[in-house]
Amino acid sequence: MPKVLISDKMDPKAAQVFRERGVEVDVITGQTPEELAAIIADYDGLAVRSSTKATPELIEAATNLKVIGRAGIGVDNINIPAASAKGVVVMNTPFGNSITTAEHAIAMMFALARQIPQADSSTQQGKWEKSKFMGVELTGKTLGLIGAGNIGSIVAERALGIRMKVIAYDPFLTPDRAVELGIEKVTLDELLGRADFITLHTPLTDQTRNILSKEALAKTRKGVRIINCARGGLIDEAALKEALESGHVAGAALDVFAEEPAKENPLFGAPNLICTPHLGASTGEAQVNVAVQVAEQMADYLVDGGVTNALNMPSLSAEQAPKLKPYMALATQLGTLIGQLESENIKGISVEVEGAAAELDQKPITAAVLAGLMQAYSQTVNMVNAPFLAKDRGLDVREIRHEREGDYHTLVRVTVSTNDGEKSLAGTLLGNEQARLVEIFGIKMEANLDGNMLYVVNQDEPGFIGRLGSTLGEANVNIGTFHLGRRGNRAGGEAVLLLSVDSAVDEPVLWKVCQLPGVKSVKALRF
């Protein structure tokens, strides 16, 4: 039975979901890094919020760990490269608190427009400074979204509902999606020059860090108001303070800061500034949603192999998993075969699918090919770390999809680029379940890839099969199945043999086979 540790405070429904799905769960919170490292080896899964730090040291100690789930969006507390290298899936719950975060951004925009926090403080101090707090209407104003993904699109919908005009800068926003949302897609400079309000809804990456820099803030129209409920670090805080003090920026509402907890910050005390302590996801509904979702996602992976909202491997829903499972088995076998035959010589790899395979999500199939291939280079490899290992080796990986159906109703082809040119092999599924090799290096051959096998390339001539059988028999190696293919299907040319054998063939026996007349190459295989 899989076992999961919940190491941060989380709604009790998360543990309930795990137990209902047949996953053993322990809830142990408040551990020091050393205490957590001492017990983590017992668990297949780790469910966290923001307190637990999944450092390289913790991941190294987690010898059985298969998945880390973050109840929330941000994964700054999880070292994804270390997890990927160890083959650990990292997943988050990007949709569980979307509405809550979007509503907080809208609330901050209203508070900023009408100076509600300042007016409240003044009034409760016994002042009646009605003329001091002259606000602005939102109706008819232009809202500029930096990021129009899940949360940004909800903010856009709410803003349109209060009759604002919405423009958005998002490189991933398609024209069709912009029309669907009822917003206008613009460049960043256009947004800066047109927006009355700017709100940010983008992750913190190398491309988005300080996206509102001193130079960017200088391009905004005088009197702009800025809201950030996304990530600290998207705004140059020193530049924002300067813009607030000069009056160029009329106000700012921040829920996130470059360093948190923000008990000290250069912005504190700046005029027309509203701050909240990272409350974007802080509603009862959101806390329940993300806890339940992370438990469901982790249970899907540990029980059924489904992968949802993973950050370091292709997603594979619990519904997709049964259909893709035989394809992934075939892909792994093809990758394992090409890796054992050509591991010293591979510079690039392409994975092609056609027929029924082309109707499926190709990314898990490609990841499975790489998982098989990279076994030639690493003893600890799976679908999570295989793409990273391939990248580290400088392998160029391509995916090709053919809508046509060829000789087989479904086909997966793996082609590697080598110093000797391209080499290709292909496989299909019999009855949509049984993996079957159908081509190897241009030679038609049908074979099951399983257990111990022997690969022999030889000159096709009478008597060779008998001599090979005698050599293996003298070495007490029993042949299970025998598969033969000839290049061009012509006698006297090059032939390929794939034999399944009941035990591994050791080096002395391989040497004897190599000495047989007509043998060009011999390789012992293991699946």
Residues of the chain with CATH 3.30.70.260: 451-527
Measured from the Cβ of residue 199, the count of other Cβ atoms closer than 10 Å reads 29
Residue with tokens 């259909």: 323
- pLDDT-derived band at 387, boundaries 50, 70, 90: confident
- pLDDT-derived band at 480, boundaries 50, 70, 90: very high
pLDDT score recorded for residue 392 = 81
Domain spanning 3-95+285-304: CATH 1.10.3720.10: no
- Interval 151-179 mean pLDDT: 95
Residues of the chain with CATH 3.30.1330.90: 319-449
pLDDT score recorded for residue 314 = 79
- Interval 457-462 mean pLDDT: 90
- pLDDT-derived band at 468, boundaries 50, 70, 90: very high
- Which of 21, 231, 354, 413 is the catalytic position? 231
Query: Does the structure show a pLDDT above 80 at 76?
Result: yes
Query: Does the structure show a pLDDT above 80 at 178?
Result: yes
Q: Which CATH superfamily is domain 98-275 in?
A: NAD(P)-binding Rossmann-like Domain (3.40.50.720)
Q: Residue by residue, what is the 3-state secondary structure of 459-518?
A: ECCCCHHHHHHHHHHHCCCCEEEEEEEEHHHCCCCEEEEEEEECCCCCHHHHHHHHCCCC
Residues of the chain with CATH 3.40.50.720: 3-95+285-304, 98-275
- pLDDT-derived band at 74, boundaries 50, 70, 90: confident
Query: Does the structure show a pLDDT above 90 at 407?
Result: no
In DSSP terms, 457 is beta-bridged to 496, 521
CATH number of the domain at 451-527, please? Answer: 3.30.70.260
Residue 261, preceding peptide bond in cis (omega within 30° of 0): yes
pLDDT score recorded for residue 318 = 66
pLDDT score recorded for residue 43 = 97
pLDDT score recorded for residue 366 = 94
Burial code (b: 16+ CB inside 10 Å, e: under 16) for 4-18 equals bbbbbebbeebbebb
pLDDT: is 178 or 317 the higher one?
A: 178
- Interval 260-282 mean pLDDT: 93
Determine what percent of the chain is predicted with pLDDT higher than 90.
75
For the question of residue 413 being annotated catalytic, the response is: no
- Which of 259, 260, 359, 433 is the catalytic position? 260
**Domain 319-449 class, CATH top level:** alpha beta
Query: Over the stretch 9-45, which tens digit does the pLDDT of each residue have?
Result: 999 999 999 999 999 999 999 999 999 999 999 999 9
For the question of residue 260 being annotated catalytic, the response is: yes
Query: Over the stretch 88-122, which tens digit does the pLDDT of each residue have?
Result: 999 999 888 889 999 999 999 999 999 999 999 99
For the question of residue 104 being annotated catalytic, the response is: no
- Torsion, Cα 15 20 22 27, to 10 degrees, reads 10
- pLDDT-derived band at 420, boundaries 50, 70, 90: confident
Query: Does the structure show a pLDDT above 90 at 425?
Result: yes
Query: Is-contact 230 202, C-beta < 8 A?
Result: yes
- Mean confidence (pLDDT) of the chain: 92
- Which of 49, 104, 225, 278 is the catalytic position? 278
C-alpha span between 284 and 114 (Å, rounded): 27
pLDDT score recorded for residue 489 = 66
pLDDT score recorded for residue 423 = 92
**Tokens representing residue 254 in the block:** 């921040």
Q: Among the listed ranges 95-99, 353-357, 452-456, 485-489, which one has the minimum average pLDDT value?
A: 485-489
- pLDDT-derived band at 6, boundaries 50, 70, 90: very high
| Full-model pTM | 0.65
pLDDT score recorded for residue 452 = 94
Query: Over the stretch 287-328, which tens digit does the pLDDT of each residue have?
Result: 999 999 999 999 999 998 888 888 888 777 766 778 888 999
